[in-house]
Amino acid sequence: MTTVQKIKEIEDEMARTQKNKATSYHLGLLKAKLAKLRRELIDPKTSGGGGGGLGFDVARTGIASVGFVGFPSVGKSTLMTKLTGTYSEVAEYAFTTLTTVPGTVKVHGAPIQILDLPGIIEGAADGKGRGRQVIAVARTCNLIFIVLDVLKPLGDKRIIEAELEGFGIRLNKRPPNISVKKKERGGIALSNTVPLTNLDPDEIKAILAEYKMSNCDITVREPNATPEDLIDVIEGNRVYIPAIYVLNKIDAISIEELDLLYKIPNSVPVSSREWMNVDELLDVMWQKLNLVRVYTKPRGLAPDYSEPVVLRHGKSSVEDFCNAIHKEIAKQLKYALVWGASAKHARGQKVGLEHILEDEDVVCIYKK
Q: Which of 313, 172, 332, 161 is nearest to 239 (CA)?
A: 172
Q: What is the tens place of the pLDDT at every residue in 189-202?
A: 999 999 998 988 88
Q: What is the pLDDT of residue 38?
A: 81
Alpha-carbon gap, residue 191 to 273, rounded angstroms: 54
Per-residue pLDDT at 87: 56
The candidate with the shortest Cα–Cα distance to 225, out of 188, 183, 191, is 191
Distances (CA, A) of 341 to 292, 315, 316, 344: 11, 16, 13, 8
Tell me the C-alpha to C-alpha distance, in Å, between residue 159 and each of 37, 39, 120: 20, 20, 10
Higher pLDDT, 220 or 7: 220
What is the pLDDT confidence band of residue 122, given thresholds at 50, 70 and 90?
low
Beta strands in 117-193 (DSSP E): 143-149, 169-171, 178-182, 188-192
Architecture of the 291-367 domain: Roll (3.10)
Annotate 264-302 with b (16+ C-beta within 10 A) or e (fewer): eeebbbbbbeeebbbeebbebbbebbebbbbbbbeeeee
Give the residue-averaged pLDDT of 122-151. 74
Cβ neighbours of residue 223 closer than 8 Å, sequence gap 6 or more: 194, 195
Mean pLDDT is lowest, of 55-59, 175-179, 190-194, 225-229, for 55-59
Q: Which helix (H) or strand (E) holds 129?
A: none
293-312 pLDDT, tens digit per residue, is 999 999 989 999 988 999 98
Read off the pLDDT band of 162 (50, 70, 90): confident
- Least trusted range by pLDDT, from 61-75, 80-94, 190-204, 335-349: 80-94
DSSP assigned state of 168? T
Q: Does domain 64-173+239-287 have CATH number 3.40.50.300?
A: yes
230, 209 Cβ separation under 8 angstroms? no
pLDDT (0 to 100) of residue 92:
45
d(CA 310, CA 292): 6
Q: Is 225 helix (H, G, I), strand (E, B) or coil?
A: coil
Band of the pLDDT at 153, cuts 50, 70, 90? confident
Q: What is the pLDDT of residues 210-243, one digit of tens each?
A: 999 999 999 999 999 999 999 999 999 899 999 9
Give the number of other Cβ atoms within 10 Å of residue 322's Cβ: 21
User: In whole angstroms, how far apart are CA 243 and each of 246, 269, 281?
Assistant: 9, 14, 12
pTM of the model: 0.81
- Residue 24 in contact with residue 203, Cβ under 8 Å? yes
d(CA 76, CA 169): 20
pLDDT at residue 55 in the model = 41
- Determine what percent of the chain falls in helix, strand and coil, rounding each to the nearest 5: 35, 25, 40
The most confident of the ranges 15-24, 145-154, 207-216 is 207-216
Q: In the chain, pLDDT over 90 holds for what percent of residues?
A: 49
Q: What is the mean pLDDT of residues 162-172?
A: 88
In Å, how far are 13, 141, 221 from 228, measured between CA atoms? 17, 23, 15
| Rounded CA separation 119/96 (Å) | 8
Q: Quick one: 310 exposed, middle or buried, by C-beta within 10 A (0-12, 13-18, 19+)?
A: buried
pLDDT of residue 47: 42
Mean pLDDT (the chain) is 85
Alpha-carbon torsion angle 275, 82, 239, 135, nearest 10: 110
For 248-264, how does the pLDDT look when each residue is reduced to its tens digit (9 = 90+)? 999 988 888 888 888 89
In single-letter form, the type of residue at position 267 comes to S
Cα(359)–Cα(252) distance, integer angstroms: 38
CA-closest candidate to residue 166, choices 117, 100, 235 = 235
**Could you tell me the residue ranges of all domains in the chain?**
3-44+176-235, 64-173+239-287, 291-367
CA distance 288 to 280: 12
The maximal CA–CA distance of the chain, rounded, in angstroms, is 75
- pLDDT at residue 201 in the model: 87
pLDDT > 70: percent of the chain:
87
Angle of helix 24-42 relative to helix 3-16, nearest 10 degrees, comes to 160
